[in-house]
Amino acid sequence: MFDLGIVIVSYNTRDLLRRCLQTVYANTGVTFQVVVVDNASKDGSADMVLREFPQAHLIASDKNNGYSIANNMGLRWMGYSERGVTDSAPRYSVLLNPDTEVPPDALCIITAQMDANPNIGIAGPKLVMANGQIDKACRRSFPTPWVSFTHFSKLGKLFPNSPTFARYNLTFRNPDEAYEVDSVVGAYMQLSKAAIAATGLLDETFFMYGEDIDWCYRVKQAGFSVMYLPQATVLHLKSVVGKLSPKARFEFYRAMLIFYRKHYRKNTPLPVHWLVLAGLMVKGGPALLPEMRHPSDFKPAQVSG
């Protein structure tokens, strides 16, 4: 049995993926297997993996199914499923973005921390961007209606040291201390076998964005903790493809709508509910209307670079 099963979903990120894999395979102190799920890239990503990293298992999809489905394909190949986990499945799974670079001791550090505390269901490292600044998404609170309001109204930016207004990205907390958080980000999130057995896989309703927060929510509901562990620092280059894509922007707000409807709608007073929907319409645009009216009939858009 491997210590880690690492799933990397790629979509037209060949050069970033190459560097990511180089850094992963430089890690020591733990055993691991790598699954690359390629979402029908047109830049030769799949061929590069076959040619340069034959030790990795490649799943080449013929279409872009999105982040959740692709990760679940990799997880199922390693022995995880909605019905449980096989004995041969790795002790931990890692979701890793292709635009990350993993120091040679990072996998070992996080695994040791999780081994020392079996109640940790999910852990994530400190993510830093190319400019040296912390990627704020690596330690977050759940986007409750209030937390979301303080973020999108810029109150969190105006008062970054306020526990009341800056909970979205926890900017009032020391980024160099380890502590329990609501959520870490899917760019690097490591899950225990027990947590996956208790909660199942990623919710495939999310095409991209939100699926990592949803998984953290379910893991915490199952009684596990989610830990931010800055003892390991991972570079996150944050590819700009998604930022430039209107479809990706739409999927971000669609994900917020799905998360809200799934976890908060039931206990949200009607006036606040209508305010939430109005705010999402302002940010996400009228394209969200089909999801609001008939969520079961809505099909997520394919995202192109």
Q: How far is CA 297 from CA 152, 203, 294, in A?
A: 28, 16, 6
Determine which of 17-26, 47-56, 281-290 has the lowest per-residue pLDDT on average: 281-290
**pLDDT value, residue 264:** 87
- Residue 7: helix, strand or coil by DSSP? strand
pTM to 2 decimal places: 0.90
Residue 84 has pLDDT above 90, yes or no: no
pLDDT digits (tens, 9 = 90+) for 22-47: 999 999 999 999 999 999 999 999 99
Residue 125 has pLDDT above 60, yes or no: yes
**CA-wise closest residue to 59 among 75, 79, 43, 80:** 75
**Domain-wise residue ranges, the chain:** 4-139+175-239, 244-297
Residue 303 has pLDDT above 50, yes or no: no
Mean per-residue pLDDT, 117-142: 96
Q: How far is CA 191 from CA 30, 202, 283, in A?
A: 15, 12, 32
CA atoms of 96 and 94, how far apart (whole Å): 6
Could you tell me the sign of the dihedral formed by the alpha carbons of 22, 24, 30, 33, in that order?
negative
Task: Please tell me which residue, 52 or 144, carries the higher pLDDT value.
Answer: 52
**DSSP string covering 97-159:** -TTEE--TTHHHHHHHHHHH-TTEEEEEEEEE-TTS-B-GGGSB----HHHHHHHHTTHHHH-
CA 241, chain centre distance (Å): 17
Task: Please tell me which residue, 181 or 86, carries the higher pLDDT value.
Answer: 181
Mean per-residue pLDDT, 113-132: 96
**pLDDT value, residue 296:** 52
Q: Are strands 84-85 and 225-236 parallel, antiparallel or unpaired?
A: unpaired
Could you please state the CATH topology (level 3) that the domain comprising 4-139+175-239 is classified under.
Spore Coat Polysaccharide Biosynthesis Protein SpsA; Chain A (3.90.550)
